Amino acid sequence: MADDGLVIGIHPSVATIFPPATLRDELDDVSARVELLTGGSDLDGLDGLVTFAYDDAFLSADLEWIHCVLAGVDAFPLDALERHGIRLTNSSGIHGDAVGDTVLGYMLQFARRLHVYRDNEPKRKWRYPDWDETFTLAGETVCVVGLGTLGQGVAARADGVGMDVVGVRRTPTPVPSVGQIYTPDALSDAIADARFVVLTPPLTDRTRGLVGSEELDAMREDAYLINVARGPVVDQASLIGALEAGGIAGAALDVFEEEPLPEGSPLWEMENVIVTPHAAGATRAYGERVAALVEENIKRIRTDDALANQIV
């Protein structure tokens, strides 16, 4: 990219997460021209692009850098981008607190039956829980599978409410708030005693189908699965089977094999399942956090340094 006249476009798909104008305003002081785009033809003349979605038109647009506002970039053809000399960066590292709060909320709902009371409210149904239905989080075990930014955000909050935290990661080095760490080959052992199993890894060839019938069978019957990673990390058919058979107590799912979740999915009808629309990382500060990453990388482009969060 040239040191002068750097032009960065904000793709309209960013509106899925936050108003594109919010990002433009946050980038008001950067040493580049920032443009709001309205369509594919606007790609002409851009050096860089900030986007939520991928479009094949990106490959032929003479771009040199794309920033994805998501942490997950599985929708982007990494090999093709590399062949075209387009660098790709993501927004990994900005979601830990939002996702951590969401996961804590899921666990509280299940423990205190808040989701059931909320479902009963429109029916004006007044029902006190059975004596053994509710529990407190303190003293319960949560296994966090994946101890990057998301997993550490979950671990810190779980530890803060008195839970015992174990984790799974490829390198068994110590992580704050995590009492014991297992490697992926010991996943079944790691989840066997946990009341909650929380999935936070990125989607890779290693993690696709990570949780299937074998892992679900290893979980306690009173355990809950929480997925805030990517839908394909879980074999959804096996999960539905385990829920219908009572193999596990319930699930909180923010991500699915197909999104939006089809209207005919049995997951919609299950009282012991919490469905959220891939929104665990949502926060009003999202645009501000993405802007900080984009601004940092504009600076690095100026100094010809390696980009932050570079994937390709």
For 170, the token pair is 């490829």
> Are the CB atoms for 74 and 208 separated by under 8 Å?
no
Catalytic residue among 113, 157, 169, 278: 278
Bridge partners, 198 (sequence order):
144, 226
Q: Is 29 exposed, middle or buried (0-12, 13-18, 19+ CB in 10 A)?
A: exposed
Cα 167 from Cα 271, distance rounded (Å): 28
Contact partners, residue 14, CB within 8 Å, separation at least 6: 20, 23, 50, 51, 52, 69
Interatomic CA distance for residues 127 and 93, integer angstroms:
42
In sign, the C-alpha dihedral spanning 292, 294, 295, 301 is positive
In the residue annotation, 230 being an active-site residue is answered as yes
Residue 24 catalytic? Answer: no
Pull the structure tokens for residue 137: 């989080």
Longest CA span, the chain? 69
185: left (phi over 0), alpha (psi -120 to 50) or beta: alpha
Selected catalytic residue, list 113, 157, 195, 230: 230
Which residue in the list 220, 259, 269, 288 is annotated as catalytic?
259
Distance, CA of 239 to CA of 281 (rounded, Å): 23
Tokens 């979950």 map to which residue?
154
* Contact assessment for residue 33 and residue 50, using Cβ atoms and an 8 Å cutoff: no
Could you give the residue ranges of the DSSP H alpha helices within 193-262?
213-218, 236-245
Catalytic residue IDs: 230, 259, 278
